[in-house]
Structure 1
């Protein structure tokens, strides 16, 4: 990864400025890891709406005389530019040539909207533009924290670290430290996150639940549930109030350990906390625990609470309801919620179709799943291979391999691009049909598509089944090729947790527990990701 070279501003205010960092260099892209939404008692402004006090009086008056331009018009010009190479500076300079005054408030609103729609490079370019006009736009620590977050997404973790290290001490406060902690948390850099948190402790920056929530979410994603308990204990010993999302993460941690007693104890504690009130996430987390342990009556009660707490235009709770009712085997409720969902929202997103089709296949209603799939094909805004993969996987696992191949071909013929999982489900079907060579070819295709991604590894169940088939057929050559051409390239051999479920010398006896435990780990990480998407960091 190329490290971007940051330079300190050479203006008279250089000791009070952030580090300017160009956004033109390409590198890794990271998705946002953010703090918990709904926290209002520590919500920092995106950008301070002040003009630098040491700008000349004449210059200030000139800009104040200009008519202010509506931020939304500027945002649209930026986001809808037909030329992807047109940077933010070009658009903003043109606006000023038209005699419009771009205020700090308007630019902050534009940045917020760009971040909302994940246009991180443009958002960073807006900051670069303001950084070059220090006499007009005073930089705050909130600005610096946002820029650090954007740099991590556009240029990668190393560049964000470089930016942070070169900041003057005056700009290193709880906002910028919290932003860097976010970066480490999302990248699952546990050692760096823990080290930074210790430094924050010494500086007195860990006085609010936000930073602790980040660490707990990180530990959830790594399945280190005991450390969630440790953070909770620290918060209580230091009189750091738990907010709603602290409780939700704690509940999720206990649910992942299948501790009904613990879940109910924490829920009762939360009810006695006058500062918190359970939301739909609280009850969906509890419902998940009850379903895992077969207490379906209590799960149903929780799902009714979920439904009663849905806000007007929030789609996500409906996805949870459909998925959880499907897991329970309650087809009637799945259909009811789907009908309700369709009546409320004029269009259904890909995620909505994905959730419904997945639930129907889980219920064994392949005809209805196929019908919903065909409906999606007619209305889709873009081709999401995950939706096709659900049906391809069902057909491949249930003895309808020709139908699976037909759907796979249909995907490619209609403009869809198979992903690693698409090839993986085909490989699963070939293993079931005892076609070693074809299965290996599919797994190799999957690895090629996933190369460079740390998030994909072939499912241990498929690898174990392939190895068992090789043992049965006495095909040691294919077994060795799997190791060298799939597992090694996908970085599986270095992953002790992954390899603990696979034996390369003999077939693993994977009774009801081992592989399921690994897949539960994947589900837990996905659940932690769902928690993080409800976050809205201290820097926004």
Structure 2
């Protein structure tokens, strides 16, 4: 509408100037003018969607923005180890240049699809050309976030300390706070929040939302309430994210009454309009509390709140209807989704196939997998893993092996989870050496930095080694956990301790049984 209004004003000004330049003004009635020039029929919508003109008209013939082309080159690199810099250098060697806006837009797209290492490489390429690109505090905050995800929190801290004072503002402090929260470093996060309070950087909702997320993940729900109380006491407006996190916290405590009270307060807050995320949060919590009728009611409200061409709500709907066990609703939402969008990304197929597998409609899942194979731009092992895991869990070992061969034949590169699923199948068949071999492949995969083996699978492998008196294989997996740094995790440390006790009856070390913690973590990740 803003674009139409602007266009309308431009046409009116043009008409006025032409009229004034004529020696003899024409008398045109308002009615005639409206019939002659119908501004509302200007084909603006087509212009924006087809050429990404961002407000320009078709006759300008502006080409598709160049960052899109560079993004595709980076995403489809045959040798990812060459990095984004190789693509950017090649682009410039072809006589083309990229503006800072285009590079930042490229980074945004890479971050959107979790290609954090590639996004960081773009910033590093820009850093090496300081005479061309002047980086702001916002850029520094994004780099800090990427560094924490790609190289760890210690490297992110070093980056922050080396920043010049003019780049240390609420954005870079907020990025470091977010990094601490991601790594669940509670003491450092609380200390940094105090610093932000003293510097008056905590005068808006964002840092409180981040801390509320930390406390919720640590199950310290009373501190979530304290954050809300502090915001109210300091007249800091709760935003939509504050309310949604607060709703989640109440739901995770199993209190539908408290959650509904928060929702009522949210509705009464005239500055807030509940969005689809609000109702998907309510649906998720009602499902956890087995209040399925209320969950379905919330899911219907999710659909009524979808605005524009946003695909993500449909992914949530597909997943949540699968959790409720409503197969017909999964297919209905899927058909609606396909009718709105001409192409469906891998995430969409992952959502629907995952739901059908969860419901037990394996035939439907297999059909949609075949459909995805015919339209995919690249093979996503996460989608293949859904069927592979179902075959393994249902004891169909031969089909699992055949499906794994099929994945390789269609250029599907196995990821760490693929190898772990195969290891799980070998453990079920009591094949220790084959299972250990798959675990080794999982730890060696290039994406293993962001992967952790499921504690239940680690525990089952240790139990099998204990039953078969295979100390060497048990120690081999322990060494893999140590090399990856997972042995410091409480759950894995507990499992390693239990394994050591089982293998050495003279070991009197007191070790906590982590099985209950394991179950809790698995439930939280569903």
Per mean C-alpha deviation after superposition, the further-off stretch among 355-364 and 86-95 is 86-95
Q: What residue in structure 1 maps to residue 107 of structure 2?
A: 114
Give the conservation status (yes or no) of the 8 Å contact 1:124–1:151: no
- Contact 1:121/1:150 (<8 A) preserved: no
Aligned to 2:131: 132
Contact 1:121 1:154 in 2 (8 A): no
Contact 2:280 2:302 survives alignment (8 Å): yes
Counterpart residue number, 2:22: none
- CA drift of 1:357 comes to 1.2
**Structure with higher helix content:** 2
1:206 corresponds in structure 2 to 202
Alignment correspondent of 2:463: 468
CA contact (8 A) 1:383 1:416 kept: yes
8 Å CA contact 2:462–2:474 kept in 1: the answer is no
RMSD over aligned CA atoms reads: 3.5
Determine the C-alpha separation between the residues in 2 that align with 1:419 and 1:262.
41
Partner of 1:238: 234
- Does the 8 Å CA contact 1:420/1:446 hold for their aligned counterparts? yes
**2:276 touches 2:306 (CA, 8 Å); kept in 1?**
yes
- SS class of match (2:452): coil
CA distance in 2, matches of 1:133, 1:439: 52
Within 5 Å, which residues of 2 pair with 1:492-507?
Answer: 492-500=486-494, 503-504=498-499, 505=501
Summarize the Cα distance change of 1:509–1:303 in structure 2 as closer, same or farther, 3 Å threshold. farther
Deviation digits for residues 393-420 of structure 1, max 9, x if unmatched? Answer: 1111112100001111111122111111
Are residues 1:316 and 2:312 paired? yes
1-side partners of 2:514 and 2:150: how far apart?
44
CA shift in 2, pair 1:71/1:177, >3 Å:
farther
Distance in 1 of aligned mates of 2:172 and 2:518: 41
- 1:419 corresponds in structure 2 to 415
Deviations 1:430-487 (A, max 9, x none): 222232332232223222227861x42222222333333344x442425633543444
Query: SS of 2:488's equivalent?
Result: coil
Change in Cα spacing, 1:365 to 1:167, as seen in structure 2 (3 Å) is closer
Q: Is the 8 A contact 2:317 2:333 kept in 1?
A: yes
Q: State the TM-score, normalized to the length of structure 1.
A: 0.72
Alpha carbons 1:338, 1:356 under 8 Å: kept: yes
1:88 Cα shift? 6.7
| 1:147-186 equivalences in 2 (<5 Å) | 148-149=144-145, 157-158=153-154, 160-186=156-182
d(CA) in 2 for partners of 1:190, 1:378: 47
In the alignment, what sits opposite 2:404?
A: 408
The partner residue of 2:381 within 385, 388, 392 is 385
Question: Is residue 519 of structure 1 aligned with residue 518 of structure 2?
Answer: no
Is the CA contact (8 Å cut-off) linking 2:442 and 2:448 kept in structure 1? no
Structure 2 spans left out of the alignment, 5+ residues: 1-61, 75-83, 112-118, 504-510
Counterpart in the other structure of 1:85: 86
Alpha-carbon deviations, 1:129-162, whole Å to 9, x = none? 4x4269xx6x754455455556656776555544
Conservation of the 8 A alpha-carbon contact between 1:71 and 1:109: no
- The answer to whether 1:428 aligns with 2:427 is no
Q: 1:247 aligns with which of 240, 243, 250?
A: 243
Contact 1:326 1:359 survives alignment (8 Å):
yes
Provide structure 1 residue ranges, at least 5 long, that are not aligned to the other structure: 1-69, 97-101, 524-540
1:362 Cα shift? Answer: 1.1
Superposition TM-score, scaled by structure 2 size: 0.74
Structure 1 residues 115, 268: CA separation in 2 closer, same or farther (over 3 Å shift)? same
Which structure carries more relative contact order (alpha carbon 8 Å, separation 6+)? 1
Q: CA deviation at 1:243?
A: 0.5
| Cα distance in 1 for residues equivalent to 2:72 and 2:417 | 32
Distance 2:259 2:123 in 1: 41
Choose the corresponding residue for 1:271, options 262, 267, 272: 267
Of 191-200 and 225-234, the range deviating more from structure 2: 225-234
Deviation at 1:506, TM superposition (A): 5.3
Cα displacement (A) at 1:166? 3.9
CA distance in 1, matches of 2:465, 2:144: 50
CA distance in 2, matches of 1:199, 1:71: 47
Question: In 1, Cα distance between the equivalents of 2:105 and 2:166?
Answer: 24
The C-alpha deviation readout for 1:288-342, integer Å capped at 9, x for no partner, is: 1111221111011000011111123111111111111111111111111111111
Larger Rg belongs to: 2
Structure 2 residue matching 1:371: 3-state secondary structure: helix
Q: CA deviation at 1:514?
A: 5.4
Matched, 1:302 2:298: yes
What is the Cα deviation at residue 251 of structure 1? 1.4
